[in-house]
Amino acid sequence: QTSIVFNPALQFWTSRGFAVLDMDYRGSTGYGRAYRMKLKGNWGIVDIEDVCAGAEYLVKKGLADPKRLAIDGGSAGGYTTLGALTFRDVFTAGCSLYGVADLATLAGDTHKFESRYLDGLVGPYPEQKAVYEERAPICHMEKLACPILLLQGDEDKIVPPNQAELMYDAVKARGLPCSLKIYEGEQHGFRRSENIEDALNSELAFYGRIFKFQPSAGRDIDLPSLEIANLAD
């Protein structure tokens, strides 16, 4: 849920010239039970519809450049990011932080506490296997046509690293610009300050190279070196 309190991660982007839309798509808390329940069984549908509608509205109002629309998100937001980039033709680049690429694989790999987490968001597995495959970005690489940065912790038990690794291999095989950074000792959500800083600066560096502008991490601070496959600078 977005908030009106100070958010340094958002300020990082606005202080560097980015306009930011912080989205409470259907299923978010704070708007009543009916709104929250709209995501039940509809994960990978209504969340993607809402983030795309928000971006398209800003473009229509002249507040965003349709050629430089980026989306990012972590965990469930990473899944929405990958889904929006794969299933819709709205965003031109994106960054998934420990996001879900393959729903069926997650259903078998995630830790015990969240082992039935997807039953309510998607449907019971394997009974609804076809739905899992229909909504999994990894199963529809032919629809993807834009660059992706993937950031992942190597000790993540909730969304294991194989999700990012599988997605990276698939995007790379498609011939699209892509980059994968695995952070040693990090779990689900980065906790070390140096890795949080590096993740933000890596995403900034990625957009700079994709959108062809010169980014800055700040005075006397160098941006991380980023290896991007399939990108001819």
Average pLDDT estimate for 14-38: 95
Average pLDDT estimate for 165-171: 97
The pLDDT-based confidence of 20 (bands split at 50, 70, 90) is very high
Name the percent of the chain in helix, strand, coil, to the closest 5.
Answer: 45, 10, 45
Q: Does the pLDDT at position 194 exceed 90?
A: yes
The set of residues, in sequence order, having a beta carbon less than 8 Å from that of 112 and lying 6+ positions away, is none
Q: What is the pLDDT of residues 43-69, one digit of tens each?
A: 999 999 999 999 999 999 999 999 999
How far, in Å, CA of 83 to CA of 34, rounded?
Answer: 24
Q: Does the pLDDT at position 37 exceed 80?
A: yes
Q: Does the pLDDT at position 30 exceed 70?
A: yes
How far, in Å, CA of 53 to CA of 46, rounded?
Answer: 10
Bridge partners (DSSP) listed for residue 189: 187
Q: Does the pLDDT at position 111 exceed 80?
A: no
Q: Using the Cα atoms of residue 73, residue 78, residue 84 and residue 86 in order, give the sign of their dihedral.
A: positive
Q: What is the pLDDT of residues 124-139, one digit of tens each?
A: 999 999 999 999 999 9
pTM for the whole thing?
Answer: 0.94
Q: Does the pLDDT at position 115 exceed 70?
A: no
Residue 77's SS3 state is helix
The pLDDT-based confidence of 221 (bands split at 50, 70, 90) is confident
Token duo for residue 51: 């983030």
Decide: 167 and 138 in contact? Cβ < 8 Å: yes
Q: Does the pLDDT at position 90 exceed 70?
A: yes
pLDDT for the residue 99:
96
Cβ burial 20-31 (10 Å sphere, 16+ → b, else e) = eeebebbbbeee
Mean pLDDT over each residue of the chain, to the nearest integer: 94
Helix or strand holding residue 78 (H, E): helix 76-87
Average pLDDT estimate for 20-44: 95
pLDDT for the residue 216:
79
